[in-house]
Amino acid sequence: MSEAVEIPEEHDLDTSWMENMGEWGANARPGKRGLTLADIQVGSYGDLPEVSDNMTGRPRGAAVRPEAYRVGAYSVHTLSEIWLDNAEYLYEEALQRQWSSATDIPWHTLEPLPDDVEEAECFLCTFFNEVEFVAGDVPARWIAKTTPDYLEARNVLVVQVMDEARHMDVFRKRALANGGGLMRMSGATSGFVGSIDLARDFTEMSTRLHISGEGAVLTMFRMGELFGQNEAEKTMYRLCAQDEARHVAFGVMHLRFLAAAEPERGEEINCYLDEAEGQLISGQQNPAGALAETSEALAVLLGGGMQHYDEGHKKLLVIRRRQLKEYMKRVMSAGFGERFENGRSPIPERYAASA
Ligand SMILES: [Fe+2]
Ligand SMILES: [Fe+2]
């Protein structure tokens, strides 16, 4: 005969947690692309607060725990400060299109290059290492400053940090894989690229990073078909461009959202764009330091060697013009195209006419 087991009083089950829940009965269904973040915007879980007072790290839609500590002093807690309409889609696309710098680049297509061409490629790889470092570091800082209620926008930035880590490593790998190595640092982080980190406001940062800086880098990556010397390099630039297009899209969509939600911030945004365009124009007309050396390296690659430098330089001018035009298209798409018509933009009119 078995004896009854006595449960000591301190082991009594407290199941009060079962009575504290968010909205119950959620039945999110997978769509064509599986169960995406867009598919789980069901009931109150999809409600985005215009202003978030969530300082405890509470997942959006979970029941409040009154005694929970404040864990984050989230300075970004107003929706318009960071939001964009397609955040869920950008995030899912980023997850689906992750690639490996170890196995998705046909490294076996690398072949010894003439010294000047290898040096130019290695210089460009060194420059991109510096640029990609900033492109990962800066959004990373803002992620932790953003309320968890805006998790979709945060998640896009989280994947951006992953993308930038891969960009940094793929350029490092290329520099070390073909008889060359890293060159003297370009100093890119001492100029405009470094100043991105000085932004006091998320939108200021996003305008500098996503629209201006990464926009220019995206055009360069897209032209990698022209200056890549082999399939490994062309693939590397193509895959980086694919990621970069998403980062730029974040900036454009965010600016569009903010301009519609808070038209009174239009003048402030125009000031950020004034600054970005001033840098773009001075960089194009008066190359100095990092930009001058990067331009020379690009001209060597585009020409196929020092002996065809002039030819390469002509091709580079086409890339520089394209950077401006693509930049202008993004600004127009974000809803600030007027500045190219009313004389506010420092970009010469001839570019405006052809953008
Ligand atoms: Fe990047
Ligand atoms: Fe990027």
Residue 214 confidence (pLDDT) above 80: yes
Per-residue pLDDT at 7 = 61
Indicate whether 80 pLDDT > 80.
yes
User: What confidence score (pLDDT) does residue 14 get?
Assistant: 85
Instruction: Report the pLDDT value the prediction gives residue 8, as an integer from 0 to 100.
Output: 64
Interval between CA 306 and ligand 2 midpoint (Å)? 30
Number of C-beta neighbours around residue 215 at 10 A: 26
As a whole number of angstroms, the distance between CA 245 and CA 278 comes to 23
Give the sign of the dihedral formed by CA 256, CA 258, CA 259, CA 265: negative
CA of 326 to the centre of ligand 1 (A): 17
Instruction: Report which of residues 259 and 193 the model is more confident about.
Output: 259
* pLDDT tier at 239, thresholds 50, 70, 90: very high
Q: How far apart are CA 44 and CA 24, in angstroms?
A: 10
What per-residue confidence (pLDDT) applies to 287?
Answer: 41
Least confidently predicted of 108-122, 173-187, 222-236, 289-303: 289-303
Which residues 6+ apart lie within 8 Å of 310 measured at CB?
A: 303
- Per-residue pLDDT at 351 exceeds 90: no
pLDDT of 35-67, one tens digit each? 999 999 999 999 999 999 999 999 999 999 999
The neighbour count for residue 181, using CB atoms within 10 Å, is 13
Closest-approaching ligand to the CA atom of 159: 2
Among the bound ligands, name the one nearest to the CA of residue 139: 2
pLDDT in tens, 254-294: 999 999 999 999 999 999 999 888 877 776 544 445 678 99
Token reading at 179 = 């008889």
Half-sphere exposure of 294 (CA within 13 A, CB side): 25
Q: Which ligand is nearest to the CA of 138?
A: 2
How much is the pLDDT for 3?
65
**pLDDT above 70 coverage of the chain, percent:** 92
Distance (Å, rounded) from C-alpha 344 to C-alpha 355?
16
Looking at the chain, the whole-number percentage of residues with pLDDT higher than 90 is 78
Confidence of residue 113 (pLDDT cuts 50, 70, 90): very high
Question: What pLDDT score does 286 carry?
Answer: 44
Which region among 75-84, 177-186, 196-205 has the lowest average model confidence (pLDDT)?
196-205
Q: How far is the CA of 164 from the centre of ligand 2 (A)?
A: 6
How far are the Cα atoms of 70, 115, 123, 139, 186 from residue 251, in angstroms, in the given order? 30, 39, 28, 12, 26
Confidence of residue 199 (pLDDT cuts 50, 70, 90): confident
Count other Cβ atoms within 10 Å, centred on residue 21: 10
Alpha carbon distance 179, 118 (integer Å): 8
pLDDT score of 290: 62
* Choice between 319 and 107, residue whose per-residue pLDDT is larger: 107
Determine how many CB atoms are found less than 10 A away from the CB of residue 223: 20
Taking 80 as the threshold, does the pLDDT of residue 119 lie above it?
A: yes
Ligand 1 centroid from CA 319, angstroms: 18
- Return the CATH number of 79-354, one of 1.10.620.20, 1.10.287.3510, 1.10.260.40, 3.65.10.10: 1.10.620.20
Q: How many CB atoms are closer than 10 A to CB 41?
A: 14
Distance (Å) from CA 5 to ligand 2 centroid? 62
Q: Which residue carries 């899209």 as its tokens?
A: 249
Q: What is the mean pLDDT of the chain?
A: 91
Rounded to the nearest angstrom, the distance between the alpha carbon of 138 and the centre of ligand 2 is 11
Q: How would residue 309 be classed by pLDDT, with cut points 50, 70 and 90?
A: very high
Q: Which ligand is the nearest neighbour of the Cα of 128?
A: 1
